[in-house]
Chain A
Amino acid sequence: MRSIEEQIAAMQSSPWSEFAVTKTGARSATWEGTISPQIRKSYLLRIRYSVPNILEHFTAVGVQPRVQVLKPVLEGHPDYEEGPIPHVYQNQEEPQYPYLCLFDPYEGEWSPNDLISETTMYWAANWLYFYENWLLTGKWQGGGRHYGNRPKSV
């Protein structure tokens, strides 16, 4: 399992080094920065991550980095494919800032052994690229899948 120090260090030495750490805790960090998947299109993101306590039971769904788009606020289009907003987790506290769902937690696509800088950040850029084009065409072309009431255990 990667420590928060390893995650922070990896981000600082990665192509995502522009992302600033805005908050840290004993086992947590929050980053904010801009992703620009296409020229003249950029998004302010916040990524929050807490390293799980190794003694606790955890799931990939539960411990995944929480990625939110702060600016511009994501547009909802219920009439578009995968609308109102494709592949996000609802955020009850701040509905306008849902969490991006960037990997399949049931297929082991991410775990706390992975570096955010090598996975989450790229997947967020992918998601934003396809989100831009979803706004343009009404079609979600980034692929993905949906689950019903599958158990959330890893």
Chain B
Amino acid sequence: MATTDYHHREVESLLFDIARKIQLSPTRYDEASRAYTALCQYIDRPESPLAGLVVRCYPSGSFSTGTVISSIQRNESHDVDAVIELHNSFATVDPATVLAKLFLAINGSEGSRYYGKARKNSRCVTVEYESGLTVDLMPIVVTDHAVQRAGVLFHHKEKEGEKYTKPVNPWGFKEYFNAHTATDANFARSFWDREYLVDGAQTTPMPEVVPPSLKSSRVVALQLIKRFRDVQYTTRTVRQPPAVVLAALSLESGAAERSLALEVLKIGDHLRNTLLQPGILRVTNPSYPADEFTDRWPRTREAQMEFARDIVFLQKSIRSLLNEEMNTEEIKQKLSLLFGEKPAAEAIIRLNEARSRDMSSRTLKYGAAGRVVTAAGLASVSSPARSSTFTGGDKLD
């Protein structure tokens, strides 16, 4: 195997392990499912101010597109986005009233199930759980009957004096995204060949958690980019690029690469080129162009350029991992800057497991001065006569 193939394979393995580490565990996913289902049922209970007025409740956001990752901020927990589709009589109701009614339907009176756990935001009501899980429930009304489930959301920010409805179609985007990121059997096969298995999958009214082994490189690359974004914005106080913007732009990146590293670079190229175009970025829902994804970010050119610089940094780092020889400390540092300390540490441990197996089987070679051969040339390598077992702990005679 050529040195570059071996090295590229190790970088792929590192990225797969990062991706694996940021997946939601089956336990967390189960928790999200139960919370979401319970809330949907609760909002429509007989005593609710919205009783009989909820047409349907469905997941949106990352869960609906199979791109959910654990949150870096809240104990590796996660956000669930859900749409509460209300009766069309709400189409003419003041947005402040709609949001207030949804809040009341959830928060209820003192002593009730979610009392004190709900928070009214500008477009949704958020329920927070002790585990760190949050469920964002966004009320919409279907107003455009020409397009399946297209309608409006309700925006109200009292302090800023903002009050309006906005066209949306999260269902349409979910359908579009999933149709354009079908499972790639070859990607799945290469993932399984590395014996990197993710436990479990849930069958619930919510979409199944599809292990990364069964997803396409595009979806897993998008998860990595989301995680990268989260790490970069951890210490910033500004709004970060919405995941739906990243998802929509990723779909415009052309045919997906088989390689995860190359796919991250490819999506990065499109993100960078798009962000660098003159003016303020505008991205719309490919299934419903009236639905603008960028209405709240970026608000300024500087915000846009900041993320463009981030993407350049991401690409430069991935390229240096692919093309430069590094020791494991340097690899870990680089991965930590990109994806956070915990996934980076896990990836290094897995890398060493693989190298340990190679050493035991004598398939790993050694260059000059005992250099473990990865990116170094294969021109002059050697191997021991046999492997050994470290022992020790006493004193020598």
Which residues of chain A (80-125) have a CB below 8 Å from chain B?
86-92, 99-107, 109-110, 114-115, 118-119, 121-125
Chain B residue at minimum C-beta to C-beta distance from A34: B369
A37 to B370: give the CA distance in the assembly, Å: 5
Q: Which residues of B contact A34 (CB under 8 A)?
A: 369
Q: Decide yes or no whether B391 CB sits under 8 A from chain A.
A: yes
Structural contact, A39 and B371, CB atoms closer than 8 A: yes
Known: A125-B372, A141-B349. A89 touches B388 (CB 8 A): no
Which B residues, 357 to 397, have Cβ-Cβ distances below 8 Å to chain A? 359-360, 366, 368-372, 380, 382-386, 388-397
Complex interface residues of chain A between 100 and 154 (CB less than 8 A to chain B): 100-107, 109-110, 114-115, 118-119, 121-130, 132-133, 136-137, 139, 141-147, 152
Contact with A along B328-352 (1 / 0, CB 8 A): 1110100000000000010011001
**C-alpha gap A47/B371 in the complex (Å):** 18
Contact B349 A137 (CB under 8 A): yes
Would B328 and A132 count as touching, CB distance under 8 A?
A: yes
Judged by a CB distance under 8 angstroms, whether B87 is at the interface is no
Q: Decide if B3 is an interface residue (CB 8 Å cutoff).
A: no
Partner of A141, one of B353, B380, B396: B353
CB of A55 to closest CB in B, whole Å: 18
Residues of B within 8 A of A22 (CB): none
Chain B residues with a Cβ closer than 8 Å to the other chain, count: 38
Query: CB < 8 Å: which of A59, A89, A106, A115 contacts B392?
Result: A89
Bound CA–CA A142/B327 (angstroms): 17
Residues of B within 8 A of A76 (CB): none
Q: Check if B326 sits within 8 Å of A39, measured CB to CB.
A: yes
Instruction: Judge whether A132 and B327 touch: CB under 8 Å.
Output: yes
Q: Is the CB of B366 within 8 A of A38?
A: no
Is there contact, CB below 8 Å, between A142 and B390?
yes
Which residue of B328, B372, B389 contacts A143 across the interface (Cβ within 8 Å)? Answer: B389
Residues of A within 8 A of B352 (CB): 130, 133, 137, 139, 141
Contact across chains for B396 and A104 when beta carbons are under 8 A apart:
no
Contact with B along A2-26 (1 / 0, CB 8 A): 0000000000001110100000000
Asked, given contacts A101-B390, A103-B391, whether A42 binds B369 with beta carbons under 8 Å apart, the answer is yes
Known: A36-B370, A143-B356. A89 touches B389 (CB 8 A): no
Q: Is B384 touching A119 in the complex (CB atoms < 8 A)?
A: yes
Q: Roughly how many angstroms separate A145 CA and B392 CA in the complex, as a whole number?
A: 8
Taken together as a complex, chains A and B put the C-alpha atoms of A129 and B370 apart, in Å, by 9
Bound Cα distance A145, B389 (Å): 7
Q: Are B330 and A40 in contact (CB under 8 A)?
A: yes
| Interchain CB contact under 8 A, B329 and A143 | no
Please name all residues of chain A whose beta carbon is closer than 8 Å to the beta carbon of B366 when the two chains form the complex: 15, 122, 125
Residue of B nearest to A103 (CB): B388
Q: Which of A106, A118, A137, A152 lies in contact with B384, CB distance below 8 A?
A: A118
Given contacts A36-B369, A103-B391, A107-B389, contact A122 B328 (CB under 8 A): no
Query: Which residues of chain B have C-beta atoms less than 8 A from A132's C-beta?
Result: 327-329
Taking a contact as CB atoms under 8 Å apart, the answer to whether B329 and A125 are in contact is no
Q: Is B325 close to A, CB under 8 A?
A: yes
Q: How far is the CB of B176 from chain A (nearest CB, A)?
A: 42
Minimum Cβ distance to chain A for residue B353 (Å):
6
Assess the B391–A104 pair: CB atoms within 8 A. yes
B325 x A92 contact (CB < 8 A): no
Are A105 and B390 in touch, CB under 8 angstroms? no
Asked if B21 is at the interface (CB within 8 A of a chain A CB), the reply is no
Given the complex, which residues of B lie within 8 Å of A74, measured CB to CB? none
Chain A, 63-80, contact with B by CB distance < 8 Å: what is the 0/1 string?
010100000000000000
Residues of the B chain whose Cβ atoms lie less than 8 Å from the Cβ of A107: 389
Residues of B within 8 A of A99 (CB): 392, 396
Q: Which residues of B contact A152 (CB under 8 A)?
A: 397
Most interface-central of A99, A103, A121, A122 (chain B CB within 10 A): A122
Min Cβ gap B92→A in Å is 60
**CB <8 Å contact, A146 and B391:** yes
Q: How far is the CB of B394 from chain A (nearest CB, A)?
A: 6
Task: Please tell me if the beta carbons of A38 and B327 are within 8 angstroms of each other in the complex.
Answer: yes
Return the CB mask of B264-276 against A: 1 if under 8 Å, else 0.
0000000000000
Give B358 Cβ to nearest chain A Cβ, in Å.
11
What would 30 A/B residue contacts be, using CB atoms closer than 8 Å? A14-B382, A15-B366, A15-B368, A15-B370, A18-B368, A35-B370, A39-B325, A39-B326, A39-B327, A40-B327, A61-B396, A61-B397, A64-B396, A87-B390, A88-B392, A89-B392, A90-B395, A92-B395, A109-B388, A109-B389, A115-B385, A119-B385, A122-B383, A122-B384, A132-B328, A137-B345, A137-B349, A144-B392, A146-B393, A152-B397
- B interface residues (Cβ-Cβ under 8 A, vs A): 325-330, 332, 345, 348-349, 352-353, 355-356, 359-360, 366, 368-372, 380, 382-386, 388-397
